[in-house]
Every structure is written in C-alpha cells, then in structure tokens.
C-alpha cells in the first residue's frame, strides 16, 4: 500500500552539482544545487535551477556561462558549505582553500580539486516559479587523470560522487555496481519470449 505525502520535491537520486560562475567584478563563485540533471544528448545539455535571490542567478544572467564541478565523497563538507552561504557575503574559495580555474571555453571557473568539471554556455532560461532553470550546452568535460582507466574511460569508483536525499537533507555515497545497462533487462520481453 502507498501513502500520499503531498506535493513535494522528493525523488532519488538528486545530484550534488557545484555551479561555478564569475560575478560582475570577475570574482569566482560557487553554489551547490540539487535541482538539475542532463536534459539533452545533442547538443549535450545540462539543466540547473537556482532561485532569483542567489548571487549565482545574477552571475548567470550576466555571463551566460557556468561550470558544474562534481565533488568526491571526501569533499562533501566543502560542497555543503557552498550551498549554505552566499557569494555576496563570503569568498567561498578562500574559505575552503579550494582553487578556481578559469575555463578556456566559457566565461566561468571550475573547482580544480574536484574530480569532474563540465563547461557550459547558457542556451535557455525558464522562469518556473521559485526557481529559474538554466539549460547549458556542455562544451567540454574535464576529468582528473587518476579517475580515468587504461582506455580513457571514466571510473565511477575513483570519482566517488555524492548523492543528495532531499527528504531528509542528507548526503549519501554511491554504492556498489548492480548491473550493466541495456543488457540486464533482456530477461524480459521479446528476446525472452522468442
């Protein structure tokens, strides 16, 4: 039996995306968002949502560019802090000791120490209500060398990304590998019944 919980923003998993932008003076800022995800394969696009009141919102509207840095599990405290305070009030890079790297492709900085960074230019802005959604075209992905396998493939276990659970407001690790996609489901359907 299922119980109704009302109209809430709870689903699993939600991501821990650290959105990097420059402000009007060119100061790097980062903000953590859990509202977002990939939204198109061609052009490759990722969506992130922020409130109008955030410092990042103004930066995004001005620069039309952002990065998404993906923290590793040992960087969850930094990521949490990035979502707790405003770049108007604090220099989040200075406070954490992390390093902003200027993207060569878009007008935005990413976090050097985080294992994965996506560089994006804003394609579409949709005001949905409390949040505004920014769709960014992914121009490049950069990964730490020690997260790449022998054939240049990304190793999830090395990245050790973090999941956010909105219901209880807690971070979780990625656990064990369960199955290969577009393969495990073959037991059902025509192939099975043929």
Residues from 53 through 82 that contact a second copy (CB under 8 A): 68, 70, 73, 76-82
The secondary structure element, H or E, covering residue 127 is strand 116-127
| Residues 88-127: x where in contact with a second copy by CB under 8 A, - otherwise, as a string | -xx-x--xx---------------x---xxx----xx-x-
Enter the DSSP assignment of 20.
E
CA 46 to chain centroid = 9
Nearer to a second copy, 62 or 155 (CB): 155
Question: Residue 174 and residue 166: Cα distance in Å, rounded?
Answer: 16
173 binding a second copy? (CB under 8 A): yes
Shortest separation between residue 150's beta carbon and a second copy, angstroms: 13
Shortest separation between residue 167's beta carbon and a second copy, angstroms: 4
166 binding a second copy? (CB under 8 A): yes
# residues contacting a second copy (CB under 8 A): 109
Reduce the DSSP state of residue 189 to 3 states and report it.
coil
Q: Which residues between 4 and 43 bind a second copy (CB under 8 A)?
A: 4-15, 17, 34-43
Question: Residue 176 and residue 95: Cα distance in Å, rounded?
Answer: 33
State whether the Cα torsion 162-165-169-172 is positive or negative.
negative
């Amino acid at each position: 039996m299922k119980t109704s919980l009302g109209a809430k923003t709870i689903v699993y998993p939600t991501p821990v995306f650290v959105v990097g932008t420059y402000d009007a003076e060119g100061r790097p800022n980062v903000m953590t968002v859990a509202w977002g995800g990939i939204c198109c394969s061609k052009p490759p696009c990722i969506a992130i949502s922020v409130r109008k009141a955030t410092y990042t919102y103004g930066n995004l509207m001005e620069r039309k560019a952002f990065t998404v840095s993906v923290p590793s599990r040992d960087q969850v405290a930094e990521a949490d802090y990035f979502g707790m305070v405003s770049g108007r009030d604090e220099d989040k890079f200075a406070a954490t000791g992390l390093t902003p790297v200027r993207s060569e492709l878009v007008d935005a900085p990413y976090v050097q120490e985080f294992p994965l960074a996506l560089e994006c230019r804003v394609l579409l802005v949709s005001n949905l209500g409390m949040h505004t959604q920014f769709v960014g075209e992914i121009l490049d992905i950069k990964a730490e060398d020690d997260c790449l396998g022998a054939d240049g493939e990304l190793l999830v276990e090395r990245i050790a990304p973090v999941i956010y659970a909105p219901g209880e407001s807690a971070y979780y690790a990625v656990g064990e590998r369960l199955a290969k996609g577009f393969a495990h489901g073959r037991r059902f359907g025509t192939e099975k019944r043929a």
